Amino acid sequence: MTSPDAPPAAADAALALRAFALWPAGFGGLWLRGPGPARDALVERLGSAVRLRRMPAHIDGERLHGGIDLAASLAAGRSVSRSGFLEEARGGVVIAPLAERITPALAGSVAQALDHAEPAERFGLVLLDDGAERDEMPPLSLTERVAFACDLGSAAPGDLASTALPAPLASPAEIPACSAAGLEALAAVSLALGVDSGRALRFAALTAGASARLDGRDFVQESDLAAAARLVLAPRATRLPPPPQDDADAEPPPPPPPPPESDADTPGDEEQEDNGTPDPDQLIEAAAAAIPPGLLEALADGRTRRGAGSGGGARHLSPLRGRPLAARQGLPRGGARLALIDTLRAAVPWQALRRTEGETHSGLRIMKDDVRVRRFEARSASVTIFAVDASGSAAFTRLAEAKGAVELLLAQAYVKRTEVALVAFRGQDAQLLLPPTRSLTRARRALTELPGGGGTPLAAGLSMVCTLGTGLARRGYTPLLVLLTDGRGNIALDGSTNRAAATEDALKAGRAIAAAGLAGVVIDISPRPRPEAAAVAAAMRARYVPLPQANATVLSKVIGALA
């Protein structure tokens, strides 16, 4: 495996599938991203070999863990217990459709089952992930515990449907072990790609062995290590491998001759194909070629693998709307609604007792303690608050661009269901030009009418944004602050023209924003990036984006990535 070109996704998926079939409990499972014929073919193939069980994303705790079957118990007059889904799935393979919708709570329980000490008590997990964007993905606690990740979104099914699956191994000892040099190479790849999980290391070593075994060999060679790096390590990469030393040119594909250092102590450079002394650099390259393209973009953006889903704010509990959660004890007041069925269920077990204790009228006896109320989990709407520096220093250079960006974002707001508010500061103080709205026309008008010129009351602008943001957060919105400024405040909070005091006030206001926990981004719109704006960003604990050549499209892209 010396070619940096990754084999087609379907071939890798077939390899992952076969390795998984060798020892489902050891590999944990597969994470299959992107719906399509290739994925269907794979699942179908798997289903013909092992017992598959589907786990709906909305499965409740009772069904998951088992317990007393209330309906059956009442009918039978004795307690009837029912086994839980996790128990029933032992030794088999669980298919989780819509895996990107799995809640952290469900994921926690499943992860625990996957961690069971006895491999025979575990099950394999296949995550079918239909997430459209990079942000929408199954809970990390699950993706972490399955060995393989394959993106099959655009892959042709190839011969996936006819892949010959190996019989499960009787003992994991049948998987060949990696040589010391092989382990070292995998460790080097993991370091280069910033893969920090011990589980990933374990999976990688296991995968290399499984690849050899599938090939009918009892030793691990370089192609096995490359497969492990591609299938296990590359999808977990958190950074790009550093460019290979100094001799790297602008074009990476032609691999440089083996670096002298790493090969100085290993004889026989020529026979890397089969002598088990792999070259980590080539492995890293092979793995880097298999890094999913979206990940690179995310890394280039400086974004991590988490973050709020698009258009959605943070999740919070709501008594009124959203996804239903388990009912809780409580009285239906303050907007909470009665959960009738749960109330009855809470009351039923007590009927026998209450009948013997209380008076003798027939019918259900429901007491205050039985009453349950409904709860929902809602995603709060996010509001992007723009604070635009319309002072003389900023106005003439960039105000028009800032206006354009706000307009573009506003147009997206319809799609992403976010709202936009606009604060401008110039002259002596800050002004709320536009309270949170989705109205395109109003926002446009406010923007067009926004005049420029005058001093820079940066501190006033920041404190207005802070007040607005905390107020919105309290009302259940998730605010995101976008500050467009050059950071050179010259009007202090008290209105006096004093640069030193103005800077101090601005930093203070920035820290107040950080203390309130409001997320934000500072966009430096001065023609040349300046330390002042960076200092304000640091105080706000916000991202700092210098945009010397900003235009409306670039701006809205940066903000769109954060919102």
Partner 1 sequence: MNRFPFSAIVAQDEMKQALLLAAVDPAIGGVMVFGDRGTGKSTAARALAAILPPITAVEGCRFGCAPPDAGTCPDPCTSKKTAKRAVPFVDLPLGATEDRVIGALDLERALRSGEKRFEPGLLAKAHRGFLYIDEINLLEDHLVDLLLDVAASGENLVEREGLSVRHKAKFVLIGSGNPEEGELRPQLLDRFGLSVEVRTPQTLDARVEIMRRCAAHERDPAAFCAEWAPADAKIVRKIAKGRTRLPSVETPDEVLYDASRLCMACRADGLRGELTLMRAARAQAALEGADTVKRKHVIAVAPMALRHRLRRDVLDETGSTTRIERAVAEVFG
Rg (CA), the chain: 29
Instruction: Report d(CA 483, CA 384) in Å as an integer.
Output: 10
Instruction: Report d(CA 389, CA 461) in Å as an integer.
Output: 8
DSSP string, 445-494: HHHHT----S---HHHHHHHHHHHHHHHHHTT-EEEEEEEE-S---B-TT
- Which part of the chain contacts partner 1 (CB under 8 A), choosing from 72-80, 269-277, 409-417, 459-467? 72-80
- 89-108: contacts with partner 1 (CB under 8 A): 103-108
DSSP state of 236: G
Among 184, 215, 263, 407, binds partner 1 (CB under 8 A): 184
Among 296, 320, 326, 411, binds partner 1 (CB under 8 A): 326
Kindly state whether residue 470 participates in binding partner 1, applying the rule CB under 8 A.
Answer: no
What is the DSSP pairing of strand 124-129 with strand 29-33?
A: parallel
Instruction: Report d(CA 189, CA 182) in Å as an integer.
Output: 11
Kindly state whether residue 539 participates in binding partner 1, applying the rule CB under 8 A.
Answer: yes
First vs last Cα of the chain: how many Å apart?
Answer: 41
Among 71, 132, 180, 340, binds partner 1 (CB under 8 A): 180
Kindly state whether residue 162 participates in binding partner 1, applying the rule CB under 8 A.
Answer: no
Instruction: Report d(CA 556, CA 99) in Å as an integer.
Output: 30
In whole angstroms, the minimum distance from the beta carbon of 301 to partner 1 comes to: 16
Kindly state whether residue 353 participates in binding partner 1, applying the rule CB under 8 A.
Answer: yes
Kindly state whether residue 344 participates in binding partner 1, applying the rule CB under 8 A.
Answer: no
Kindly state whether residue 144 participates in binding partner 1, applying the rule CB under 8 A.
Answer: yes
Nearer CB in complex with partner 1: 75/132: 75
In terms of Cα–Cα distance, which of 536, 549, 520 is closest to 386? 520
Among 248, 367, 475, 497, binds partner 1 (CB under 8 A): 367
Residue 515 has a CB neighbour count (10 Å cut-off) of: 12
Kindly state whether residue 177 participates in binding partner 1, applying the rule CB under 8 A.
Answer: yes
Among 50, 169, 201, 378, binds partner 1 (CB under 8 A): 201
| Token pair listed for 228 | 């492990």
Q: What angle do CA 35, 137, 24 make, to 5 degrees?
A: 75
Instruction: Report d(CA 318, CA 373) in Å as an integer.
Output: 12
Kindly state whether residue 306 participates in binding partner 1, applying the rule CB under 8 A.
Answer: yes
Kindly state whether residue 188 participates in binding partner 1, applying the rule CB under 8 A.
Answer: yes
Task: Look up tokens 């001799």; give the residue.
Answer: 247
- 236-295: contacts with partner 1 (CB under 8 A): none
Query: What 3-state DSSP class applies to 127?
Result: strand
Total number of residues that touch partner 1 (CB under 8 A): 69
Kindly state whether residue 74 participates in binding partner 1, applying the rule CB under 8 A.
Answer: yes
In the complex, the residues that contact partner 1 under the rule CB under 8 A are 26, 61, 64, 68, 70, 73-74, 77-79, 103-109, 111-112, 115, 117-118, 140-141, 144, 172-173, 175, 177-178, 180, 183-184, 186-188, 190-191, 196-202, 204-206, 209, 304, 306, 326, 328-329, 346, 349-350, 352-353, 355-356, 367, 369, 511, 514-515, 538-539, 541
